Amino acid sequence: NAGVTQTPKFQVLKTGQSMTLQCAQDMNHNSMYWYRQDPGMGLRLIYYSASEGTTDKGEVPNGYNVSRLNKREFSLRLESAAPSQTSVYFCASSEPGQGQYFGPGTRLTVL
């Protein structure tokens, strides 16, 4: 039982490049989330998916797109990376009332 997994762990991009962050969970959770964490700002929600087939914007969605591929997988895409998107990205999953389980994070640097 791996919980929530994320790939890659580290990534360096040049401004304007695109990439997709992958997330998968094996806990059969309905809801999945993408956050970014910047120093001194806690976690901010980018997008979430309450259930398979649905996605909704969070607090900071600009510059990102998501795909809920199936119940297990939820990907985050940066179409044209900008230095302001340098951050640590966390994926999480949950069932109502249970709190969220977080993946190990992806450390992204955009030059």
Partner 1 sequence: ELKVEQNPLFLSMQEGKNYTIYCNYSTTSDRLYWYRQDPGKSLESLFVLLSNGAVKQEGRLMASLDTKARLSTLHITAAVHDLSATYFCAVDGKTSGSRLTFGEGTQLTVNP
Residues that bind partner 1 (CB under 8 A): 31, 33, 40-45, 48, 50, 58, 90, 94-105
CA distances from 70 to 10, 46, 64 (A): 24, 19, 19
Sign of CA dihedral 84, 100, 51, 74: positive
- Return the number of the residue (33 or 74) whose C-beta is nearest partner 1: 33
DSSP assigned state of 111: -
Least separation in angstroms between CB 59 and partner 1:
8
Least separation in angstroms between CB 80 and partner 1:
27
Interacting residues of 11 by C-beta distance below 8 A, sequence separation 6+: 19, 21, 106, 107, 108, 109
- Return the number of the residue (59 or 79) whose C-beta is nearest partner 1: 59
- Tokens representing 51 are 């259930």
- Return the number of the residue (38 or 79) whose C-beta is nearest partner 1: 38
Least separation in angstroms between CB 92 and partner 1:
8
Least separation in angstroms between CB 98 and partner 1:
7
